[in-house]
């Protein structure tokens, strides 16, 4: 892994212009909590208060990094909010080591091409890597998400006992916005029901892709190439890479509480969908996938995993028996080339892993959307 660490730091590390506001007191920390902050003055300090309520001994080995960020094409109100946030952070004291990364002032702003939560998360982690060790945990929070008092202790106990390298925690949204009280319950049910139905289908990509629920080890972060720079859905793609690398454990305890606010600055995500629902532009019930789509997904995964060493022609005949449109869908995502590589797997376990590496979370959602729309 040392070679991978050096390679990452040489080729993939975020620009060094984004640096910490001070040197941490300790050379190494067991846990890092990383928080992107974009015009979050009204929310961030509630999140930090909830971190301050964690086990005192654990906080001694916890490093919190906050990247205050905006693009080079920003409203003055965002810039003012970020300045206000920065000044208050400098005046604040906590039971944990809190570091600030400036990605909002004139020489530190993020180019509009990359400005978004993916890049902000990447800067937040990459800036503190030298103060972590190969066994450190990296927790991804959002500035509007409070955490349970047992957040750190539950995660760390699970990490030690189950020896995972990536995980998600369970969540319940806050009822902090009266206008979205009913909508957030519908949306949360959609997220959790979708994950459960994907699990029943036999796919390992059966977690809710929510940024504030993600945790991974230092080694896993390096192994998957760090956080991606996507402006939206960065959590989906990051978790997908972690699943392919090491699997994603699901901690069932409800440990995080995201806000149920509604804002329009994101391309996707909870707040954007809530805003559209409030405006009458989106019926949240339309997000649910059809029973038929889950049925086809289940049959296809079962067929595929029972088809090791079977010729592709025979596999295609069985695919057609499931549904006449399924073969066309699979051909469009390159079944022919993929199957040859999958079928060359030396063992059945390797065969299963290769199949799921190809038919990944993105393919799962494409199939569900394909059959729900049709």
Calpha distance 61→97 (Å, rounded)? 8
- 164-173 residue pLDDT tens: 999 999 999 9
**DSSP run (H or E) holding 32:** strand 29-37
Confidence of residue 265 (pLDDT cuts 50, 70, 90): low
Question: Is 103 strand, coil or helix?
Answer: strand
The DSSP letter of residue 20 is B
SS3 of the chain: helix, strand, coil, percent, to 5: 50, 15, 35
pLDDT score recorded for residue 263: 75
Confidence of residue 244 (pLDDT cuts 50, 70, 90): very high
pLDDT score recorded for residue 262: 83
Confidence of residue 270 (pLDDT cuts 50, 70, 90): confident
Residue identified by tokens 């530190």 is 108
Q: What is the DSSP string of 133-186?
A: EEEEEEEE--TTEEE-TTHHHHHHHHHHHH--SEEEEEE------GGGHHHHHH
- Taking all residues of the chain, what is their mean pLDDT, rounded to a whole number? 95
pLDDT score recorded for residue 374: 81
Question: Token digits for 325?
Answer: 């449109």
Question: Token digits for 205?
Answer: 């990509």
How many CA atoms lie less than 13 Å away from 49 in the CB half-sphere? Answer: 6
The alpha carbon dihedral of 205, 211, 212, 215 has a sign of positive
Calpha distance 203→211 (Å, rounded)? 20
Q: 62 near 24, Cβ under 8 Å?
A: no
pLDDT at 268 over 70: no
Region 334-356: mean pLDDT is 96
Assessment of whether the complete model's pTM goes beyond 0.85: yes
Nearest to 67, CA basis, from 11, 8, 15? 15
Region 239-252: mean pLDDT is 98
pLDDT at 267 over 60: no
- 67-104 residue pLDDT tens: 999 998 889 999 999 999 999 999 999 999 999 999 99
* Pairing state between β 249-258 and 166-171: parallel
- Name the phi and psi angles at 46, rounded to 5: -70, -40
Instruction: Write down the H helix ranges in 279-311.
Output: 291-305
Question: Token digits for 51?
Answer: 């971190």
pLDDT score recorded for residue 317: 97
pLDDT at 266 over 60: no
């Amino acid at each position: 892994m040392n070679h991978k660490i050096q390679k990452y730091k040489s080729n993939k590390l975020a620009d060094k212009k984004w640096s910490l506001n001070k040197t941490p007191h300790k050379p190494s920390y067991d846990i890092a909590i990383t928080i992107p902050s974009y015009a979050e003055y009204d929310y961030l300090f509630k999140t930090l208060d909830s971190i301050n309520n964690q086990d005192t001994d654990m906080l001694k080995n916890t490093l919190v990094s906050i990247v205050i960020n905006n693009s080079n094409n920003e409203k003055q109100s965002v810039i003012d909010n970020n300045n206000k946030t920065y000044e208050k952070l400098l005046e604040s004291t906590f039971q944990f080591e809190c570091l600030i990364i400036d990605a909002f002032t004139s020489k530190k702003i993020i180019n509009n091409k990359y400005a978004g939560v993916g890049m902000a998360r990447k800067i937040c982690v990459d800036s503190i890597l030298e103060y972590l060790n190969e066994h450190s945990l990296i927790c991804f929070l959002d500035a509007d998400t409070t955490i349970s008092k047992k957040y750190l202790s539950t995660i760390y106990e699970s990490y030690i006992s189950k020896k995972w390298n990536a995980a998600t925690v369970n969540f319940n949204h806050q009822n902090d916005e009266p206008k979205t009280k009913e909508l957030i319950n519908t949306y949360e049910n959609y997220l959790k029901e979708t994950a459960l139905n994907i699990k029943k289908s036999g796919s390992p990509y059966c977690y809710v892709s929510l940024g504030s629920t993600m945790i991974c080890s230092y080694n896993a972060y390096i192994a998957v190439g760090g956080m991606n720079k996507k402006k939206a859905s960065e959590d989906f793609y990051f978790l997908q890479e972690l699943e392919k690398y090491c699997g994603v454990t699901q901690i069932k305890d409800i440990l995080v509480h995201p806000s149920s606010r509604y804002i329009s600055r994101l391309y996707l995500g909870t707040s954007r969908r809530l805003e559209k629902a409030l405006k009458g532009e989106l019926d949240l019930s339309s997000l649910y996938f059809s029973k038929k789509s889950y049925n086809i997904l289940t049959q296809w995964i079962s067929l595929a995993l029972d088809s090791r060493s079977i010729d592709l022609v025979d596999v295609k005949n069985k695919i057609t028996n499931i549904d006449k449109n399924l073969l066309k869908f699979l051909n469009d995502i390159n079944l022919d080339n993929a199957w040859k590589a999958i079928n060359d797997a030396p063992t059945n376990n390797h065969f299963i892993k290769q199949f799921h590496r190809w038919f990944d979370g993105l393919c799962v959602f494409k199939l569900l959307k394909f059959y729900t729309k049709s």
